[in-house]
Amino acid sequence: MKTSLTSMDYLLDEKVNFYEKILNQIPDLIFQLTISQENEFYLSYLNKSIISFFEINEFDLNQNALDLFNEKLHPDDKESFFNSLYISKQTLKSWTCEFRILLKNKSVKWFKVDANVALDAEKNAIFYCNLTNISTIKSRELKVSESETRYQFALEASKKGIWDYNIKTGEVFFSKESLQMIQFNEHDNINTNSQWDERIHPDDLTNYLQNIESHKLNKIPFFENTKRVLAKDGTYIWVLSRGKIIERDENGNPLRIIGTHSDVTSNKEKEQELLGNLDIIIEQNNRLLNFAHIVSHNLRSHTGNFKMLLNMFDESDDPVNREECISYLKTTSNALSETIDHLKELVDIHTTIIHKKEDLNLKLFLNQTLEVLSKEIKDNKVIIVNKIGEKDTIKFNPAYLESLFLNFTTNAIKYSHPERKPEIHYSSRKEDGKLVLLIQDNGLGINLEKYGEKLFGMYKTFHKNDNARGIGLFITKNQIESMGGTIEVESKVNVGTTFKINFNEEV
Distance CA 323, CA 311 (A): 14
Please report the pLDDT score of residue 309 as a whole number: 75
Q: Residue 463: its pLDDT value, please?
A: 44
Q: What is the pLDDT of residue 470?
A: 45
Name the pLDDT band for 462 (thresholds 50, 70, 90).
very low
* Position 52 pLDDT exceeds 50: yes
pLDDT digit string, tens, across residues 343-377:
665 566 555 544 567 888 999 888 887 887 788 88
Q: What is the pLDDT of residue 466?
A: 46
Q: Model confidence at 498, in pLDDT bands (50, 70, 90)? A: very high
Amino acid letter, 468: A
* Helices vs. strands in the chain: H and E counts, helices first: 16, 17
Tell me: pLDDT of 83 over 60: yes
Provide the b/e sequence for 343-357 (b: ≥16 CB within 10 Å): beebeebeeeeeeee
- How much is the pTM? 0.40
Q: Is the pLDDT of residue 24 over 60?
A: no
Average pLDDT, the chain: 80
Give the distance between the most distant pair of CA atoms in the chain: 175
pLDDT of residue 347: 62
99-147 pLDDT per residue, tens: 999 887 778 999 999 999 999 989 999 999 999 999 999 888 877 776 6
**CB under 8 Å to 33, separation ≥6 — which residues?**
41, 42, 43, 44, 65, 115, 126, 127, 129
- The answer to whether 436 and 394 are in contact (CB under 8 A) is no
Give the tens place of pLDDT for each residue, 222-268. Answer: 889 999 999 999 999 999 999 899 898 888 899 999 888 888 888 88
Look up residue 337 and give its DSSP letter.
H
Q: Convert the pLDDT of each residue in 275-309 to its tens digit.
A: 877 776 776 666 666 556 555 545 665 676 677 77
Q: Which pLDDT score, from 0 to 100, does residue 1 have?
A: 41
pLDDT digit string, tens, across residues 140-170? 887 777 666 555 555 554 567 888 999 889 8
